[in-house]
Structure 1
Amino acid sequence: MLRTAALDGQLSDFLASTGVVLFYLLVWALVFAGTALFLGVFIPFITGDSLLFGSGLVAASSSNLNIVVLAVGIGIAAFLGDQVGFLLGRRYGRGYLDRRGGRRTQLAIVKTESFYLKYGWWAVVVARFMPWARVFVPVVAGVGRMNYYKFLSSNVVGALAWGVGITLTGYYAAAIPGVKSAAYVIAAFFITASIVFGLRTWLADRAQTRLEAQTSTGPHNTLGG
């Protein structure tokens, strides 16, 4: 939660120096760019759960910010970001994903494809709470030619549950003392889950890489003997 507190302070400073309109636009733009422009691959903390929770905290402490405008705007930005990712995947296909980043990114894409194939419609919703999956699932769904209306419905549910839900959690954490502790626990759960998921993915990638290396060298050694 220290990182969330630091971001909260930065957002408060930004609001004080630029005003309400630019604050709204900054938060919405970061949420949109997190998936639409793959910004979440490089700076997931700035475009993910902590941004939403921190902006909710700032809204609760500022009489100038309207939490309804902020939360609805975040939900719309999240929705539009995934729509762009889906359309890019459908338009440009697997080659578009192949051009994304280095080896670590490619491993994340492979894991995301497996996640999407396993959970389908629910993958789009659940991926919202997983930093890497949040970025790639919409594109993978587009590449996989997921029915557009199914993606549309799952995207709406995910954008509301994640974008609006976590923003309101941050707001009520500060606005209602009685739920403050519970709200922080919920936010901590989401952020911790994101970190754990990323760590598990990294460890699984390393294990898979070692297994592939052993598999590839095994037959070669046998033939060489």
Structure 2
Amino acid sequence: MSSSSILLAVNPLDAGSLLGAFGALGIAVVLFAETGLLVGFFLPGDSLLFTAGLLCTTGTHSGPHLDLAQVLAASAVGALAGAQAGFFIGRRGGRALLARSGNKRLHEGALRAEELLTRYGHGKAVVLARFVPVVRTVLNPLAGALGVNARTFTVWQVVGGLVWTLGLVLGGYALGSSVPNVDHYLLPIVAVVIVVSLLPLLLELLRSRRQARAR
């Protein structure tokens, strides 16, 4: 099959399709786009990482077999490089780029990202944003546009990026190693993963509300 035919056959919203077509390299490219470029807000970062971990197991599954070390490296490089690129893009006009977009979800994500930065401080907000779809796309350029200290941003985006990427990949690998034919239940598992990935933000919101009531 030619490269053009492969591109036409790939569904960018389906983690299995992306991994089958591009393997570990596709992970790096998708995560770079999702965390660094505003146009990548629709890409399936959570499900891609978890599915990649599943496909690194040696058990029976319907997808391609991936190398765990390559997947971990590609995930970390894509997510960290993307966030840093998004930050510097924001420094050079992130607000203007966002204003040109007419996408409602993107603007809603920007409001949530700005709320995170205001409520939790820069370091904690950068880490929490990794676990929220769309917000992890918008927060990086927004942090640059708002003048967040570059060293502070870099330290915390590395911490959040490694926890997010390596945690989801290793979680998928652990589940795939212990449950036979786990890919048959992939859709409900991915839904659970997305819900669980939102727990840090939900717990932080509840804690902040309790503190506000106490004050």
Confirm or deny a common fold (TM above 0.5). Answer: yes
What is the DSSP-based 3-state SS (H/G/I as helix, E as strand, rest coil) of the residue aligned with 1:101? Answer: coil
Tell me what 2:102 maps to. 101
Change (3 A) 1:150 1:196: closer
Work out the percentage of aligned pairs sharing the same amino acid.
33
1:195-220 residue CA offsets vs partner (Å, 9 max, x unmatched):
899xxxxxxxxxxxxxxxxxxxxxxx
In 1, the alpha carbon distance for the partners of 2:95 and 2:18 equals 37
1:8 deviation in Å?
6.2
CA RMSD, Structure 1 to Structure 2 (Å): 3.1
Q: What does 1:1-225 correspond to in 2, within 5 Å?
A: 7=14, 9-10=16-17, 14=20, 22-41=22-41, 43-44=42-43, 46=44, 48-61=45-58, 65-119=66-120, 120-177=122-179, 188-192=191-195
What is the DSSP-based 3-state SS (H/G/I as helix, E as strand, rest coil) of the residue aligned with 1:60? Answer: coil
Structure 1: stretches of 5+ with no match in the other structure: 1-5, 198-225
Q: Which amino acid aligns with 2:131?
A: F
Change (3 A) 1:154 1:163: same
Which 4+ stretches in 1 moved above 4 angstroms?
6-9, 184-189, 193-197
Structure 2: stretches of 5+ with no match in the other structure: 1-12, 201-215
Higher Cα radius of gyration? 1
C-alpha contact 1:116 1:140 (8 A) present in aligned 2:
no
Question: TM-score when scaled to structure 1?
Answer: 0.68
1 or 2, which has the higher helix percentage?
1
Question: TM-score when scaled to structure 2?
Answer: 0.71
In 2, the alpha carbon distance for the partners of 1:196 and 1:105 equals 21
Q: Which amino acid aligns with 1:36?
A: G
C-alpha contact 1:11 1:54 (8 A) present in aligned 2:
no
C-alpha contact 2:110 2:138 (8 A) present in aligned 1:
yes
Tell me what 1:205 maps to. none
